[in-house]
Chain A
Amino acid sequence: MKFSNSLDVIAYCNEHEVPLHTASMDYEIQKTGRSYGYIRDYLRSVLGVMSNAVHLGITDVDNHIKGKIIGNDSVLLKKRYENKKTVCGKTIAIAVSYALSTMEVNASMGKVVASPTAGSCGVLPAVLITMKERFDLNEDQLIEGLLAANMVGSVVARNATISGAEGGCQAEVGTASAMASAAVVHMMGGTPEQAFNAAAMCFKNLLGLVCDPIAGLVESPCAKRNGMGAANALMCAEMALSGIASIIPFDEVVEAMYRIGKTMPPSLRETSMGGLATTKTGIQINTELFK
């Protein structure tokens, strides 16, 4: 079994009449030599860490959980959607608050799951836990979602990059958003084609996104971009489930993402030498922190 791209994955699912999560599990067993039980147990602990991080930040009313720049935003957002009529609907608002929460936990040296990276660790937990609560999903369904997400991330890592230093934020939050979107489609009973369509649309919306962290920290604008990645994932999943297809197929979108990443100047790839990092305020924050 060799999955070079999404077409290979979809062909495997169709040929063997198996769902996307089974293809992902079969592939990982072959690749890592680990057993079905070992991988399941690992994913169970992943869900535990994700669930913790999602709830730690939003319940931290005393603002202990914070980084050098960010903190407490998830609490503010929660307060609003619990008391006011939301602008963008409660589901999106909740998902964004969970992404912010996880990123606040990450910035405070708390425990997270780099999925695919620490800089984009808020997206997948935010989307999964929001879906869990909204549709009362059980652990098995969430693990199937994780496995579907893995298939997307695996193809991106193989054919492009998941590192901000190589491909900018589109490679990190872009990949995380695509992974989360595929998970949603899969958990809602969508086909493998629909899952990859959702992932393709996610990427297309984020192509060109640069990595320009203020003061070199995994905090700002990272946390809010994770929120955006979660909202984007839900939106694209909704479109894919309705039958909307991506005009450009997933594998070509990934190729475009990689090409765009390579043509990005180094100043916009995690070096903090450009973008928001070199704005007046960005420089000021950096100077104050590291004087």
Chain B
Amino acid sequence: MNDYSIFDIIGPIMIGPSSSHTAGACRIGYTAQNIIKLPITEVEFVLYGSFAKTYKGHGTDIALLGGFLGLKPDDERLVDAFKIAENRGLKYSFVTSEDDIDHPNTVKIIAHTNRLEKWEIIGVSIGGGKMIIRSINGIEVQYTGDYNTLVTHHRDSSGMLARIATILSESRINIAFMKLYREEKGLKAIGIIETDEDIEQQVIDELLRLNGMLYVNVIGKIYE
């Protein structure tokens, strides 16, 4: 609670009715589609805890889907999320689960891309419109969306992180936080690198040329 700024105390500007069940849910959806980036054909939202019990009353379903369509929490088009999804040919569904989870406001997003890849992203809405992405395809992460963020999917090998850092420093991008997660030694790893500066396409291209780099994307920061 200690790092609340004026944008939290007198904000966020948002579509009601609930900062945790509407604005936070929207941000989880928004971030998830930003992590995946590829065109998505089908998405399923699995709702847990309080999300599962009260999602209809708070428009959590509308907010999650709207966010997933790229709308931000203050976008008035959110209320038309179902219609927008249908127009874009995105198949969507909502499922509730009784499974025990750590946090009452949890959602698992299962998305299928046009390349037939399946993504699983778990997010929690932690209050005041803030959220944390807890898991990306089974790999545990702690991603908050407070900074411009580079997400790298690469093979777990020695020196990879150093090479990524070199490319960033040569482009004068300052790393604020950097975390590495891996499935298992020597297999796939995910790097989450939060930066002060914007990350340009040229930097992404350079990273993609690294041996062992599978996939790179950039998530613009989602807070004021």
Question: Which B residues are CB-close (under 8 A) to A46?
Answer: 10-11, 13
Question: What are the interface flags for B1-26 relative to A under an 8 Å C-beta threshold, 1 for contact and 0 otherwise?
Answer: 11011111111111111110011000
Question: What are the interface flags for A155-172 relative to B under an 8 Å C-beta threshold, 1 for contact and 0 otherwise?
Answer: 001100111010000000
CB distance from A284 to the nearest CB of B (A): 15
Cβ-defined contact, A31 with B5, below 8 A: yes
Cβ-defined contact, B17 with A115, below 8 A: no
Cβ-defined contact, B9 with A154, below 8 A: yes
Picked from A67, A105, A109, A157, the residue with its CB within 8 Å of the CB of B4 is A157
Question: Which A residues are CB-close (under 8 A) to B76?
Answer: 110-111
Picked from A24, A49, A158, A179, the residue with its CB within 8 Å of the CB of B1 is A158
Cβ-defined contact, B14 with A111, below 8 A: yes
Does B118 have its Cβ within 8 Å of any Cβ on chain A? no
Picked from B11, B58, B224, the residue with its CB within 8 Å of the CB of A113 is B11
Query: Which residues 173-216 of A sit at the B interface, judged by CB distance below 8 A?
Result: 179, 215-216
Cβ-defined contact, B9 with A150, below 8 A: yes
Does B36 have its Cβ within 8 Å of any Cβ on chain A? no
Cβ-defined contact, B5 with A32, below 8 A: yes
Question: Which B residues are CB-close (under 8 A) to A116?
Answer: 8-10, 128
Cβ-defined contact, A67 with B13, below 8 A: no
CB distance from A114 to the nearest CB of B (A): 5
Question: Which B residues are CB-close (under 8 A) to A150?
Answer: 6, 9-10
Cβ-defined contact, A215 with B57, below 8 A: yes
Does B59 have its Cβ within 8 Å of any Cβ on chain A? yes
Cβ-defined contact, B19 with A118, below 8 A: yes
The chain A residue with its CB closest to the CB of B9 is A153
Cβ-defined contact, B23 with A118, below 8 A: yes
Could you tell me the distance between the alpha carbons of A37 and B176 in the complex, rounded to whole angstroms? 25
Does A256 have its Cβ within 8 Å of any Cβ on chain B? no
Does B190 have its Cβ within 8 Å of any Cβ on chain A? no
Could you tell me the distance between the alpha carbons of A45 and B12 in the complex, rounded to whole angstroms? 11
A157/B15 contact (C-beta < 8 A), A42-B224, A117-B128, A217-B58 known = no
Does B39 have its Cβ within 8 Å of any Cβ on chain A? no
Does A231 have its Cβ within 8 Å of any Cβ on chain B? no
Cβ-defined contact, A114 with B11, below 8 A: yes
Count B interface residues, CB 8 Å. 36
Could you tell me the distance between the alpha carbons of A24 and B5 in the complex, rounded to whole angstroms? 10
Q: Is the interface of A mostly helix, strand, loop or mixed?
A: helix
CB distance from A55 to the nearest CB of B (A): 16
Does A43 have its Cβ within 8 Å of any Cβ on chain B? yes
Does B127 have its Cβ within 8 Å of any Cβ on chain A? yes
A109/B79 contact (C-beta < 8 A), A32-B5, A154-B6, A158-B2 known = yes
Could you tell me the distance between the alpha carbons of A49 and B56 in the complex, rounded to whole angstroms? 25
Could you tell me the distance between the alpha carbons of A128 and B58 in the complex, rounded to whole angstroms? 27
Question: What are the interface flags for B146-179 relative to A under an 8 Å C-beta threshold, 1 for contact and 0 otherwise?
Answer: 0000000000000000000000000000000000
Question: Which B residues are CB-close (under 8 A) to A165?
Answer: 127
Cβ-defined contact, B57 with A216, below 8 A: yes
Does A146 have its Cβ within 8 Å of any Cβ on chain B? yes
Question: Which A residues are CB-close (under 8 A) to B57?
Answer: 68, 215-217, 289-290
28 contacts between A and B (CB under 8 A): A28-B6, A32-B6, A42-B224, A43-B6, A46-B10, A46-B11, A68-B57, A105-B16, A106-B16, A107-B17, A108-B16, A109-B16, A111-B14, A113-B10, A114-B14, A117-B19, A118-B14, A118-B16, A119-B18, A146-B10, A154-B6, A157-B9, A158-B4, A162-B128, A165-B127, A216-B50, A217-B17, A217-B54
The 8 closest A-B CB pairs, nearest first, are: A106-B16, A153-B9, A157-B4, A218-B17, A216-B54, A118-B19, A28-B6, A115-B10
A interface residue numbers (CB < 8 A to B): 24, 28, 31-32, 39, 42-43, 45-46, 49, 67-68, 105-119, 121, 124, 146-147, 149-150, 153-154, 157-158, 161-163, 165, 179, 215-219, 289-290
Contacts A217-B57, A290-B56 aside, 10 further interface pairs with beta carbons under 8 A come to A46-B10, A110-B15, A110-B16, A112-B13, A114-B129, A121-B16, A146-B10, A153-B4, A216-B57, A217-B17
